[in-house]
Amino acid sequence: MKSAYIELYEAAVALVTVLDKTAEQLLPQEIVDVVKLHSKLAVGSALIPVPGADVAAGAANIWTMYGRVNSKVGISIRDNVLKTIGSGVVTNLASYMAMAGLGSAIKAIPGLGTVTGTALMSASLYAVTLASGYIYVKALTLLANKGNGSIDITQIDSAVKDILKNKEVIKNFIKAAKSDFKNNKNEITNN
Ranges 15-29, 79-93, 110-124, most confident: 15-29
Which of these, 99, 95, 120, 117, lies nearest to 108 by C-alpha position? 117
Question: pLDDT per residue over 34-93, tens digit each?
Answer: 999 999 999 888 888 877 788 788 888 888 898 899 889 888 776 566 666 666 666 656
Q: How far is CA 2 from CA 10, 65, 129, 186, in A?
A: 11, 23, 18, 21
SS3 175: helix
Domain that includes residue 177, residue range: 4-190
Residue 83: name the closest of 104, 103, 101, 56 by CA: 56
Number of structural domains the chain divides into? 1
Q: Burial level of 76, CB count in 10 A (0-12/13-18/19+)?
A: exposed
CA–CA distances in Å: residue 88 to residues 32, 36, 92, 167, 187: 21, 20, 6, 15, 30
What pTM did the predictor assign? 0.84
C-beta separation of 69 from 137 below 8 A:
yes
